[in-house]
Amino acid sequence: MSQVITVGQYDQSILDQAEIALVDGVSKTGDLIKGYSNALDQVFDVKDSNGRIITKWYDLKGKDKKGIKARRASFVQRMIAKGYTKGVDKDGNPKASATVDTYWQRVKEASGYVPKGRVSGGTDVDSKTVAELKTMINRILKAEEDGQDPEASQYKSALMEVYEGLGGDLDTLG
């Protein structure tokens, strides 16, 4: 027969300790990613004689990229060892999950990498907002072209102002 335990009957410190560890770990993820990206910057960024960056580590090509490829492979293997896997390859070795690529992407972005299609200097929220605003504005423009008079037309100029303010190009609308 199982026993029902009420809140007052167990040691809450066990839960408190686990909760504190979780919250501390969650809040440090960004710091840990930034720390790793800073280390990659220090070791692999190509600098001129005055210390100015010529090429970021994530833009290296050919033989210059050898060290980065080795670090990426090490990163993937450590993540796989921690359980970030999805199936196995043809040789029976575990394959890295999409989470591994996501974390590597975050490391690159922490070093200044801007993914294609994202507004430079914008956050992921901003780039998504720009894309959604473009969709909304284009929907309004299409309705107007089709002879409709949607209520949204009265807010079109305000939406376009916000779109442009977030880095959207008005010439790409329509």
Whether 173 and 134 have beta carbons less than 8 Å apart is answered as yes
Residue with tokens 């890295």: 96
Which pLDDT score is estimated for 127?
Answer: 81
User: What is the block-wise mean pLDDT of the chain (174 residues), using blocks of 10 residues?
Assistant: 54 75 76 88 93 93 92 92 89 89 90 72 74 91 89 90 83 80
The two beta strands, 85-88 and 94-96, are: antiparallel
Tokens of 174: 């329509």
Whether 158 and 167 have beta carbons less than 8 Å apart is answered as no
Which pLDDT score is estimated for 39?
Answer: 92
